[in-house]
Chains A and B, each alone.
Chain A
Amino acid sequence: MALPQAKQDATEARIAALSLPEGGWAEPARREALARLRAMGLPNARDEYWKFTRPDTLVSAEAPAARVLETDETPLFDSRDRLKLVFVDGVFSAEESDDPSLEGVTIDRLAEAKDIHWAKDLYGVLEARGQDPVARPLAALNTAFATDGLLIHVTGKPSKPISLIYRHVSDTSDAILHHVIKVDAGAEATILENGPAAARFNKCMEVDLAEGGRLHHIRAQGRDHERRAATHVFARLEKESVFKSFTLSVNGAMTRNEVVVEFTGDDAVAHVAGACMGDGDFHHDDTVFVTHDAVNCESRQVFKKVLRNGATGVFQGKILVKPDAQKTDGYQISQSLLLDEDSQFLAKPELEIYADDVACSHGSTSGAIDEDGLFYLRARGVPRGTAEDLLTIAFIAEAVQEVEDESLQEDLVERVAGWLARRRG
């Protein structure tokens, strides 16, 4: 079916502003992705999947400028022992990064990976699988045009987390990064991501988990007020594998985080969680699609949003249970704490179930701060602001608890508490 002219024009305008990296093993995958992109067209306000989030600033040929936040706070995870891999406005910086040799993992740079790389079987492959039944054109654009990224092969149990740090230095940077993570059978790693990355950031991460493999993914999206981001995670889980992903977002004018999970092996577990706090000109969209196509798998989606001063939060979450995916345990909850009447939370929770022996539940709520709780805390002498902060942290706690490592949970909560205290001055 031909695309509407306006959509086709917008797509071509964006493509014209980019250049497809040529040569090497990834080129065929890039060309296929470009063809996919042309067939789908970039999203516009009329697309059902973009009903709650305006895609215009994410798809425009030129990225809207975003000022770099001046802050003296130490970046999250800084105190941890970790393998640091730094990107500056979307370009890998070997200078600022650690030597990437670490036992149990091999790491190559997408831009440099020599011919016939293991990632050839994955690059763009999981993304392409994730295009059905819902199109994700920004991910296809990413596969076609990504200029950098990491190919991370987890072969054992690396002793420390692999920490991707995204620095934003130019007001007009427009970065496209694509990572591929392959976790071998029985291997286990933790990936940390933090920082605003660029004025506009398009990131795609493909994760392939072999039998019994485990990946923990904890990310904190940068606080730069004007930054924009469209990210995709595509995870495929083989038998008994575990994938746990948590995202903390504070500020940012526009964020669309899509997570696409596919269970292909039995007895696997995937938890996708997020907490975001938005103030004012803030739009944050979590779009999750979990496909159960294997027996006895467990999926959880836990999302919490704290919104004030006209901020908008969106959650679109779907659990699709295919006919043979018996004994599926699917859970989904999305909740918002609206700190004033100007803010809004838009949720579209969906279940589509074709198997009969499953336990799936979902819920979505929106509410103000608990006045009784607030009074109780204040009656004990806790000042209103601190009391509100305590209740806010309590609200997001359920999502933070999805992070397995308790010391990381503490880091995240401490950081949130710091931000809340700071905003009250």
Chain B
Amino acid sequence: MLEIKNLHVKLEEEDKQILKGVDLTVEAGKVHAIMGPNGSGKSTLSYVLSGRDGYEVTDGSATLLGEDLLDMEVEERAAAGLFLAFQYPVEIPGVGNMTFLRTAVNAQRKARGQEEMSSAEFLKVIRARAKDLKIDAEMLKRPVNVGFSGGEKKRNEILQMAMLEPKMCILDETDSGLDVDAMKLVADGVNALRDEGRGFLVITHYQRLLDHIKPDVVHIMANGRIIKTGGPELALEVEQNGYADILEEVA
């Protein structure tokens, strides 16, 4: 599904290397988790994959279903099936959540040569999905993320994911700022989307989310590299002992 090879990334404006050779493959139907100390490059990886400005790929490659991701425009990556749930969802005053989502869903459909969703159909689907995530209709009418609480923003990300039905979902600390119940809702939202044709890359600092979304593979990222890969037990180890042992082990 997602294949990242020897990815080197530096900041465009500065001589600062952030990713120093990331190798990572997420297979269809699998959930991979990435953990790692603050500043290790997890968000940078997710931004580079989704095409944010400000980064320069100096070496390596990233493909989605065999297609070169790094060569595509941001919106093309989305239409190809990539989705990033932002660590910090952006507020967009003046653009209604509903308008935004309908525009996005139909733009992706159009890009894939599918028929656009009618307003009525769209409404029906979004109401059902919003209800599952306990997002009330009032929130859908408000401008995108404006005045949303931290947890509401994260739930809104998952709603977008549910509406867009991407093939490859990257979740960047979607659990941070969520209360216990909201975490469960979000995890249920993710689990509902798990299927054979879809891959997940879940970035998190805590085992708690992984209790609900059981990962197949866990990676540890440090200093711009994946330094260790293992099963779900790796997350438990981090939870108990922190990163010190692992960092020492590979040093």
A residues apposed to B, CB below 8 Å: 370-373, 375-384, 386-387, 390-391, 393-395, 397-398
Contact of A376 among B89, B93, B105, B143 (CB under 8 A): B89
Distance (whole angstroms) from the CB of B105 to the closest CB of chain A: 8
B94 with A382: CB separation less than 8 A: no
Contact of A384 among B73, B84, B160 (CB under 8 A): B73
A378 with B93: CB separation less than 8 A: no
Distance (whole angstroms) from the CB of B176 to the closest CB of chain A: 18
B95 with A380: CB separation less than 8 A: no
Is chain A's interface secondary structure helix, strand, loop, or mixed overall? helix
Contacting chain A: which of B46-54, B117-125, B208-216, B224-232?
A: B46-54
Closest to A371 in B: B53
Residues of A within 8 A of B95 (CB): 373, 377, 390-391, 393-394
B78 with A381: CB separation less than 8 A: yes
Complex: A382 Cα to B144 Cα, angstroms: 14
Residues of A within 8 A of B51 (CB): 378-379
A384 with B75: CB separation less than 8 A: yes
B108 part of interface (Cβ distance < 8 Å): yes
A375 with B94: CB separation less than 8 A: no
Residues of A within 8 A of B164 (CB): 380-381
Closest to A383 in B: B75
Which of A382, A384, A390, A393: most chain B CB closer than 10 A? Answer: A382
Residues of A within 8 A of B91 (CB): 373
- Closest 8 interchain pairs by CB? A394-B94, A381-B78, A381-B108, A378-B74, A380-B104, A376-B90, A397-B94, A378-B75
A386 with B78: CB separation less than 8 A: no
Distance (whole angstroms) from the CB of B106 to the closest CB of chain A: 9
Residues of B within 8 A of A397 (CB): 94
Complex: A128 Cα to B77 Cα, angstroms: 62
Complex: A377 Cα to B100 Cα, angstroms: 8
A to B contact number (C-beta, < 8 Å) = 82
Residues of A within 8 A of B75 (CB): 378-379, 381-384, 387
Within 8 A of A (CB), among B159-211: 160, 164
B79 with A381: CB separation less than 8 A: yes
Identify 14 residue pairs between A and B in the complex whose beta-carbon atoms are under 8 Å apart, listed by A's number.
A370-B92, A375-B53, A376-B92, A379-B51, A379-B52, A380-B78, A381-B104, A381-B108, A381-B111, A384-B73, A384-B74, A384-B75, A390-B92, A394-B143
Complex: A112 Cα to B103 Cα, angstroms: 53
Residue-wise, chain B 83-102 has the 8 Å CB interface mask toward A (1 for contact) of 01010011111110001110
Complex: A382 Cα to B180 Cα, angstroms: 33
Contact of A386 among B53, B79, B107 (CB under 8 A): B107
Within 8 A of A (CB), among B117-170: 143-144, 160, 164
Distance (whole angstroms) from the CB of A385 to the closest CB of chain B: 10
Distance (whole angstroms) from the CB of B110 to the closest CB of chain A: 9
Closest to A392 in B: B94
Closest to B104 in A: A380
Residues of B within 8 A of A377 (CB): 92, 95, 100, 104
Closest to B112 in A: A381
Distance (whole angstroms) from the CB of A305 to the closest CB of chain B: 15
Which of B51, B89, B103, B160: most chain A CB closer than 10 A? Answer: B103
Distance (whole angstroms) from the CB of A35 to the closest CB of chain B: 48
Residues of B within 8 A of A391 (CB): 92, 94-95
Residues of B within 8 A of A372 (CB): 90
A390 with B53: CB separation less than 8 A: no
- Given the interface pairs A375-B52, A376-B86, A376-B89, the reply to whether A381 lies near B107 with Cβ below 8 Å is yes
Distance (whole angstroms) from the CB of A214 to the closest CB of chain B: 27
Distance (whole angstroms) from the CB of B31 to the closest CB of chain A: 21
Residues of B within 8 A of A390 (CB): 92, 95, 99-100, 103
Residues of A within 8 A of B89 (CB): 376
Complex: A110 Cα to B129 Cα, angstroms: 61
A383 with B94: CB separation less than 8 A: no
